[in-house]
Amino acid sequence: MSKFMLKLALAAMTIPGAAHAQDLGAELQGDMPALMELYRDLHAHPELSFQEVRTSAKLAARMRKLGFEVTEKVGKTGVVSVLRNGEGPTVLLRADMDGLPVVEQTGLPYASKETAVPESGVTTGVMHACGHDTHMTGFIGAAQLLSRHKDKWSGTLVMVLQPAEEAGGGARAMLADGLYTRFPKPDYALAFHDAAAPAPAGTIGYVPGFALANVDSVDIKVKGVGGHGAYPQSTKDPIVIASAIVMRLQTLVSREKSPFEPAVVTVGSFLAGAKHNIISDEAKLQLTVRSYTDESRKQLLDGIARIARGEAIAAGLEGEMLPVVTVKEDFTPATYNSPEFTLELAARFKERFGEDRVFEAEPVMGGEDFSEYRRADPDSIKAMIFWISGTPQPMLEALKKEGKPLPSLHSPFWAPDAEKVIATGAEALAGAAMHLMPSS
């Protein structure tokens, strides 16, 4: 146990956990009606990545009223709110603000009717289908508790409203815009995400170590020599070459990686050709590539380039005719929850919410750019993102009785039990922050 962790453990002993927990929980009940009103408003007015103008202005005004020093337009539409409250560590709490290009089908009275134009240029419906509206509301709930009880903690609180989690560049944009130089750099970073989990709403899941994966997008342009479909001898068919590439890519995970190292290579798009009897001169593949460690990521990306090149050479292509492999810049690094820190906070959550509401969850191959906050200085920042189940009780019962699957996040039908997620999120964030910044 490090010196600091020891200090934390001692601090935990001096704060009577249970009594303290009841205080926050009971107080939150009084805040919930107003918070649910805010939630319904945010839910009805989602905005796409880097377009969170209404959302950020509305929440910045709230933070200002609570006494935070608020700076807007950090990383395009991000908001940083700082509350300096004496000596002690710096804790960063983060909520993401963006919705998704999904047409809402929940039938809720406050369902979104908003539309917007994403990068593709085609107008779409917009929905908070990932639950970022619950994150923002829980975040405001925590800000209220922490600003009201400055006597219960000592340190610096940095609350970050981040744009563009879904598009993947929001955290990076805020860091590039001086999040750790213009504002106090955190010792700890915390966030929560709602989950469509087979557990009652309000249940907390934690994952020590790698929780979410490195996410890379890769484009492969396979070149060929086009011609008449009846005369293949005078062509180099890029569809056959690209098909061979797709098949051999399957061996990267199954034959080249250790079975104990998680990795995914998915070809999500294969575009080529226009007509039955024409051999195309080009095929395009789009891949998503998932891994945990930097080494594993490099092995996969190098392997993809090697296989694309190798299959083209096998087909008789060379030089400028070899495939062009592009790793896109929108890389999201794997989310690593500092293990000791995560277990320490999980123990505090168990005290606060009870053993049956807190469990260790499985890591997944999804991605989250919360990873960036620790990765910016991994030696000095400890970070943890935790899950809060939002699965409504009737959905959970249908799952148990009829085996009906749960709608996943990003589904047009995802209607979480927002009240449970928000109350749990607000109390968990505020409680954790108070624990990390003890008042004496």
Q: Does residue 370 contact residue 94 with C-beta atoms inside 8 Å?
A: yes
Residue nearest to Zn ion (CB): 130
Looking at 42-50, 127-135, 146-154, 267-275, which segment touches Zn ion (CB under 5 A)? 127-135
Q: Does residue 248 contact residue 307 with C-beta atoms inside 8 Å?
A: yes
Closest-CA residue to 91 (of 101, 99, 81): 81
Q: How many residues bind Zn ion (CB under 5 A)?
A: 1
Report the C-alpha gap between 165 and 49 in whole angstroms: 7
CB of 115 to Zn ion, least distance (A): 19
Residue 195 contacts Zn ion per CB under 5 A: no
Q: Which is nearer to Zn ion, 235 or 332 (CB)?
A: 332
The Cα-based distances of 370 to 94, 105, 333, 336 in angstroms read 8, 28, 9, 9
Q: Which is nearer to Zn ion, 130 or 345 (CB)?
A: 130
Residue 130 contacts Zn ion per CB under 5 A: yes
Q: Is 406 helix (H, G, I), strand (E, B) or coil?
A: coil
CB of 366 to Zn ion, least distance (A): 8
The Cα-based distances of 71 to 112, 147, 218 in angstroms read 28, 17, 36
Per-residue tokens: 199: 């557990």
Looking at 76-84, 126-134, 213-221, 254-262, which segment touches Zn ion (CB under 5 A)? 126-134
Q: Which is nearer to Zn ion, 130 or 436 (CB)?
A: 130
CB of 108 to Zn ion, least distance (A): 19
351 belongs to the catalytic site: no
> Which residue in the list 104, 165, 368, 417 is annotated as catalytic?
165
- Structural element, H or E, at residue 268: strand 264-272
Q: Which is nearer to Zn ion, 332 or 342 (CB)?
A: 332
Phi-psi region of 66 (alpha: psi -120 to 50; beta: other; left: phi over 0): alpha
Q: Does residue 283 contact residue 271 with C-beta atoms inside 8 Å?
A: yes
Residue 102 contacts Zn ion per CB under 5 A: no
Name, in order, each residue with C-beta under 8 angstroms of 27's C-beta and a sequence gap of 6 or more: 145, 148
Q: Does residue 170 contact residue 369 with C-beta atoms inside 8 Å?
A: yes
Q: Which is nearer to Zn ion, 130 or 173 (CB)?
A: 130
CB of 141 to Zn ion, least distance (A): 18
Looking at 27-35, 41-49, 128-136, 253-261, which segment touches Zn ion (CB under 5 A)? 128-136
CB of 393 to Zn ion, least distance (A): 23
Q: Which is nearer to Zn ion, 119 or 256 (CB)?
A: 119
Judged on CB neighbours under 10 Å (0-12, 13-18, 19+), 228 is: exposed
> Which residue in the list 47, 52, 72, 98 is annotated as catalytic?
98
CB of 341 to Zn ion, least distance (A): 22
98 belongs to the catalytic site: yes
Looking at 52-60, 113-121, 123-131, 233-241, which segment touches Zn ion (CB under 5 A)? 123-131
Residues of the shown chain interacting with Zn ion in the complex, contacts defined by CB under 5 A: 130
User: Could you give the residue numbers annotated as active site?
Assistant: 98, 165
